Amino acid sequence: MRRLLIRGARVLGFEDRYDGPAAADILIEDGVITSIGPTLSVEASGPGQRVNDLTVIDARDRLAVPGFVNSHYHSHDTLLKGAFEALPLDTWAMLALPPGFVPRNAGEIRVRTLVGAAECLLRGITTVQDMVRLHPYAAEHFDVVLKAYEEVGLRAVVAPHYNDLSGTNSAAFWDEELPVNQRWRLSGPVATFAKDADIIGLIRDTIVPRLKPGGLVRLGLGPSAPERCSQRLLQETAALSAKHGLPVFTHVAETRGKTLHARLQLAAHGRSHITYLADCGLLGPGLAIAHAVWLEAEEIAAIGAAGTSVVLNPQGNLKTRSGIAPIGTYREMGVNVALGCDNCSCNDSQSMLQAMKTYAGLGAIEQPFGDMPLAVDALRSATTAGAHALGMRDVGRLAVGLRGDIVLFRLDEMCFVPLNSAVRQLVFGDAAPAIDTVIVDGRIVVADGRLLTIDLAALRREAEACAAQLRKELGEITDRVTPLYDDIERAAKRAQTTEWRLSHYRRNGKSPS
Ligand SMILES: [Zn+2]
């Protein structure tokens, strides 16, 4: 039996005492928290166990926090962090996403997965939802991703990212503004799936044989977005999800243009992507929708009634000029709100500390005198609500019976001096330098702020080598897509100025009902 005893940490639970949490010991046995209480006696934890099976952490000057759940993320562009200024989403997507590039090899896929996972762990993220694009789609590359998470020791819910409709169906007015003879510039030389491929069959044949109970890595489904998936593909996704209990992750209403696209085109589904998802059998507790920036009150009510989660990505939405989600409306309607860090090249950090602070601040902008998120609400979104969104009942809190995913922050770091409120200094302060120990499934993966599981110096050398080639290809891609910039901007401007009741960036308040 693996046993880990954390002695004397100030334990940030959710029952009370967010400001001055009490000190307690936490015992983790074979990855599961088995006791939390003052001065635990390890000898009493089970018959026949030896004390030398035990690892003890002296945490008397540490704050113990549930490991963060990064509920929306893509590992496919971790090597492009810092490659772009704050571009509009549609322009960024043409430059940054795998279909624009030539196929990557297994070595690079391993390196990029580890780079993102290492950044997550070093920032206290113990679970990540990776909606990964493999281009072209290949089961052996999916295995490379799963193996990398197991190697580095990060809990992950991995969902392959797929779609069957073309890029010109992505946003309002693209089909009118992008010249037909120039559309070849939208994609690279190789398709993700062969023409007429049985996409859901390929996904099923990858996922189902790899399902296993327990384990660090779990699996899900990632239909890209309703505007990029046919009704048949979404219905097949719903059936596969229902048969095997798989969580489903997708993108909805990220920009005004994408949402307006539904308003103009989806007459059969009430001109709403939410109604479209419901009609396809996907709107329910097994679905988590990323972004949800431009939804209206009746759509948010439907999400709440269905038990669907939303995953807000406030920093990526700002950098891609996509807007600010109606945070207050989600809160009013009781929707489960999780948080994510999204792509490494549109955020460009994997920090739930930053995401929590931005979420709380934007909530206050949207409803300066209303029901804005408090620090503890932001922490819930980054932990328990995230676990709920990912369909995980065994992480997200520090409680007996749950997996031992814990971050220990140093309380002698200046962001916690003096200690007025543990939760507010965690969310509104700059607590990243205070991250000392990260434990995933009862295993210490970060100690003294250093990653123990892989050789970071070697990984850095490999990442630099891969990135040199990527930068060269990015130059070629930029040359290819630049002639489309004016057309895409013209479509985006039409989307911004087309009459619709939601104001740009919602500066005038929440969406009307
Ligand atoms: Zn995304």
pLDDT digits (tens, 9 = 90+) for 216-275: 999 999 999 999 999 999 999 999 999 999 999 999 999 999 999 998 889 899 899 999
Distance from the alpha carbon of residue 425 to the mean position of ligand 1, in angstroms: 29
How many residues can be counted in the chain?
A: 513
Per-residue HEC secondary structure of 339-408 comes to ECCCCCCCCCCCCHHHHHHHHHHHHHHHCCCCCCCCHHHHHHHHCHHHHHHCCCCCCCCCCCCCECCEEE
Separation between Cα atoms, residue 113 and residue 123, nearest integer Å = 16
Separation between Cα atoms, residue 282 and residue 303, nearest integer Å = 11
CB atoms within 10 A of CB 84: 19
List the one residue out of 474, 157, 512, 473 whose CA is nearest residue 311: 157
Distance from the alpha carbon of residue 228 to the mean position of ligand 1, in angstroms: 13
Joined together, the tokens standing for residue 120 give 């997550």
Distance from the alpha carbon of residue 342 to the mean position of ligand 1, in angstroms: 5
Separation between Cα atoms, residue 402 and residue 409, nearest integer Å = 20
Asked whether 250 and 225 are in contact (CB, 8 A), the reply is yes
Separation between Cα atoms, residue 108 and residue 239, nearest integer Å = 33
pLDDT tens by residue, 107-127? 999 999 999 999 999 999 999
Distance from the alpha carbon of residue 324 to the mean position of ligand 1, in angstroms: 15
Q: 403-431: string of b/e by CB count within 10 Å (b at 16+)? A: bbbbbbbbbebebbeeeebbbbbbbbbeb
Residues 6 or more apart from 210 whose CB is under 8 A from it? 142, 143, 146, 219
List the one residue out of 219, 224, 223 whose CA is nearest residue 146: 219
Q: The whole model's pTM is what?
A: 0.95
Distance from the alpha carbon of residue 32 to the mean position of ligand 1, in angstroms: 31
pLDDT tens by residue, 328-368? 999 999 999 999 999 999 999 999 999 999 999 998 777 77
Distance from the alpha carbon of residue 44 to the mean position of ligand 1, in angstroms: 47
Distance from the alpha carbon of residue 252 to the mean position of ligand 1, in angstroms: 10
Distance from the alpha carbon of residue 166 to the mean position of ligand 1, in angstroms: 17
Joined together, the tokens standing for residue 507 give 């500066």
Joined together, the tokens standing for residue 225 give 């977005």
What confidence category does residue 187 fall into, taking pLDDT thresholds of 50, 70 and 90?
confident
Q: At what angle do helices 231-244 and 199-207 cross, to 10 degrees?
A: 20
Distance from the alpha carbon of residue 489 to the mean position of ligand 1, in angstroms: 21
Chain centroid to Cα 211, Å, comes to 21
The confidence score (pLDDT) of residue 492 equals 87
Separation between Cα atoms, residue 177 and residue 361, nearest integer Å = 37
Asked whether 452 and 446 are in contact (CB, 8 A), the reply is yes
Q: Which residue has the higher pLDDT, 42 or 486?
A: 486
Separation between Cα atoms, residue 142 and residue 134, nearest integer Å = 7
Asked whether 29 and 45 are in contact (CB, 8 A), the reply is yes
Asked whether 90 and 488 are in contact (CB, 8 A), the reply is yes
Distance from the alpha carbon of residue 161 to the mean position of ligand 1, in angstroms: 10
Distance from the alpha carbon of residue 59 to the mean position of ligand 1, in angstroms: 36
Query: Given a cut of 70, is residue 285 above it in pLDDT?
Result: yes
Distance from the alpha carbon of residue 341 to the mean position of ligand 1, in angstroms: 9
Distance from the alpha carbon of residue 203 to the mean position of ligand 1, in angstroms: 19
The confidence score (pLDDT) of residue 496 equals 84
Query: Given a cut of 70, is residue 9 above it in pLDDT?
Result: yes
Distance from the alpha carbon of residue 384 to the mean position of ligand 1, in angstroms: 20
Distance from the alpha carbon of residue 57 to the mean position of ligand 1, in angstroms: 37
Distance from the alpha carbon of residue 132 to the mean position of ligand 1, in angstroms: 9
The confidence score (pLDDT) of residue 98 equals 85
Separation between Cα atoms, residue 441 and residue 29, nearest integer Å = 9
Asked whether 145 and 158 are in contact (CB, 8 A), the reply is yes
Separation between Cα atoms, residue 389 and residue 102, nearest integer Å = 33
